[in-house]
Amino acid sequence: MRTGTTARGIAVTGAALLALTACGGGDSGDTADSGDSGEKQVNVYGTDGNMGNALGEDFSEEGALAGMKGTLPLTDLSQEFRDRLMEVDPDLQDFNYAGETYDAVVLVALAAQSAGTNDANVFKDYMNGLTFGGDACEDFASCAEILGGGGNVDYDGQSGPLSFADAGEPAQASFGLQQFGDDNQIDNDATEFVIAGDEANAATDEGPAPAAAAAAGEPLVIGTLLPLTGNLAFLGPPEVAGAKLAIQDINAAGGVFGQPVQLVEGDSGDASTDTATQTVDRLLQSGVNAIVGAASSGVSLTVIDAITGAGVMQISPANTSDQFTTYNDNGLYFRTAPPDTLQARALSDLIIEDGNNTVGILALNDPYGTGLSDNTKQNLIDAGLAEDDIVSITYDPQAANFDSEVQEMVEFNPDAIVVIGFEESSRILESLNQNGVGPQR
C-alpha cells in the first residue's frame, strides 16, 4: 500500500512545467564519476507501464532497482479510499489506475442518469460537462442529489478534477514522482505529486440540460475490458477493484433510474493475443451500454472501432497514447487517464532536474511506447538538450532478448536511461544491470 506519501501541491501548466524531482536520491551528483574509478552511476527512469511493486518481484538481489525513478498518472488517494479498495481485494499491492477506473464507472452512471437513458449515443453528450462548471461533488450519491434537484454537476473524482477537454480526456492531471528503494519496492516516503496541464484547456460546452429521470426502463449495464492476463496483468487488480467499488457505491445510492447498475467483467489480455476481441464480442452480445478499458493503448486500438461502431461507449482508465485525442470515434470514446503529452512533460523535467545531459530511451514498439518516447524527446530538446544528446531505440516486447538494444546503450554511455515498457521491462533492466548501466547500486 502507498502510505506515508507526501503531496507537493504544485500546479504545472503547459511549457512552463516546473522542474521537479522525487526526494531521496538521484540528484545531479549521481551523474558524476564515482571516486577514482572513472565509472558513473547511470540514472534509470521508468513510466506508468513499469513503475509498480510488481516489477520488483522479478528481482531477488537487494538494490537491483534502488534509485530507479519514474512518473505515472497518480493521485494522492485518501487512506479511506485505499482501505475500501483493500476491502474489495485484500491482496492489492498497488493502486495504479484504481482511482481512474472508479471515476470512469461513476461518470458513465452520472451521464446515463443525466440523459434519462442507457443509450450511449444519447448520454455521450453529457460526459464532458459533468467534469467542469457547476456544483462540485466527489461521489455518485452527492452528484445524483444535485442532478435530482435540477442542478449542474462538476464531478471531482478520486483521480483529480478531471476537467475534460473537447476530446473527452483530462485537460490536467496528477502525476506521481516515485522511486524504488533498496528492497526493490516503491519507496512510499519518497513519492511526490505534481499537476500537469491546465484546466483552462477544458471544454466550454457543458452539454444538454439534464433530462427528467427515467421512472422505468432498461438498467445500465457496464462491461470491463481490463488486463487479467498478459503483460499488463499487474494493473488488473487495482483497476478491477476500482470498478467493483464504484458499482457498490452507485447501487448503494439507489443505482441509475432507481435500478442497480449491472457489471459484466472481461479480460483484455495484451496486444499479442486476440483476447480483447473475443471479450468485446461477448460484452456486446450481453448488451452492455459502456465498456471500461482497455488499459493498453495498443489493445484499445484493436477494438475501439468495434465498440464505438456498435453504438457503445468506451472509456479507458489507462490509455495514454495521444492517438486517441483525434481518433474518429463517433464521439463515444473517453478516458480518465491523461494523454502522454502531459506525462512526457513531467518525465522530461524530472530527468533535467536530476542534471542529466545525455539521455537514452528504450521504448516498447507500440502506440504507448513510441508516443511517450517521441513526446519525451521533444520536451528534452525544448529544455535545452541537443538532438545528438538523445538516443531513442524501440524494441519488440516479444523478442527473445534485448542484447542489441542494451549494447547500444552501453556504447552511448548516457547519463540517464528511460525504459518505457510493460512486463518485459524486468528483463531489460536485468540486462542493463549486468552491463553496468542499470539502476543497481
Strand order in the sheet with 172-179: 10-12, 192-197, 172-179, 69-73, 43-46, 416-420, 359-364, 390-395
Rg (CA), the chain: 21
Cis, peptide link before residue 294, omega less than 30° from 0: yes
Of the listed ranges 136-145, 208-217, 248-257, the one predicted with least confidence:
208-217
142-156 core/surface letters (b: 16 or more CB in 10 A; e: else): ebbebbeeeebbbbb
Spatial separation of the C-alpha atoms in residues 369 and 195, rounded to whole Å: 22
Nearest 10 degrees: CA dihedral of 276, 299, 347, 173? -70
CA-CA-CA-CA dihedral for 208, 210, 212, 214, to nearest 10: 100
pLDDT at 301: 97
Find the mean pLDDT for residues 154-180.
94
Q: What is the pLDDT of residues 200-224, one digit of tens each?
A: 999 999 999 988 765 556 899 999 9
pLDDT value at 264 more than 70 = yes
pLDDT-based confidence at 311, cuts 50/70/90?
very high
Compute the average pLDDT of residues 362-383. 96
**Mean of pLDDT values over 358-380:** 96
Domains in the chain: boundaries: 79-172+199-340
Q: Identify the residue with better confidence: 310 or 41.
A: 310
Helix (H) or strand (E) holding 300: helix 297-309
- For strand 172-179 and strand 69-73, is the pairing parallel, antiparallel, or unpaired? antiparallel
Lowest mean pLDDT among 170-174, 181-185, 308-312, 428-432: 170-174
Percent of the chain with pLDDT over 90: 83
Q: Evaluate whether 381 touches 387 at the Cβ level (below 8 Å).
A: yes
Q: Is the Cβ–Cβ distance between 420 and 348 less than 8 Å?
A: no
Nearest to 372 by CA among 345, 390, 396: 345
Whole-angstrom Cα distance, residue 147 to residue 212? 10
Instruction: Tell me how crowded residue 121 is: count the other CB atoms within 10 A of its CB.
Output: 16
Residue carrying C-alpha cell 538516443? 391
Q: Would you state the pLDDT for residue 194?
A: 87
| pTM of the full structure | 0.84
> Cα(302)–Cα(312) distance, rounded to whole angstroms?
15
Q: Alpha helix (H) ranges present in 219-274? A: 236-252
What does the pLDDT average to over 168-183? 95
- Candidates 381, 331, 325; CA nearest to 357 is 381
Cα separation, 343 vs 321, whole angstroms: 10
Residue 94 gets which letter from DSSP? Answer: -
pLDDT tens for each residue of 20-57: 222 333 333 444 344 444 467 899 999 999 999 999 99
Mean pLDDT across the stretch 327-338?
97
Q: DSSP label at 391?
A: E
Residues sharing a CB contact under 8 Å with residue 90, sequence separation 6 or more, in sequence order? none
* Residues 405-423 pLDDT 10s: 999 999 999 999 999 999 9
**79-172+199-340, which class in CATH?**
alpha beta
* Interatomic CA distance for residues 344 and 68, integer angstroms: 17
Q: Residues of 361-380 as b/e, b for ≥16 C-beta within 10 angstroms?
A: bbbbbbbbbbbbbbbbbbbb
d(C-alpha 153, C-alpha 155), whole Å: 6
For residue 345, pLDDT beyond 60: yes
**363 phi and psi angles, rounded to 5 deg:** -125, 135
> Residue 2 above 70 pLDDT?
no
417 grid coordinates: 536511461
According to the model, what pLDDT value does residue 8 have?
36
Average pLDDT, the chain: 90
Mean local confidence (pLDDT), 44-72:
95
Cβ count near 384 (within 10 Å): 9
**314 pLDDT band (50/70/90 cuts)?**
very high
CA 67 to chain centroid, in Å, comes to 22
pLDDT band, very low/low/confident/very high, at 270 (cuts 50, 70, 90): very high
pLDDT of residue 1: 32
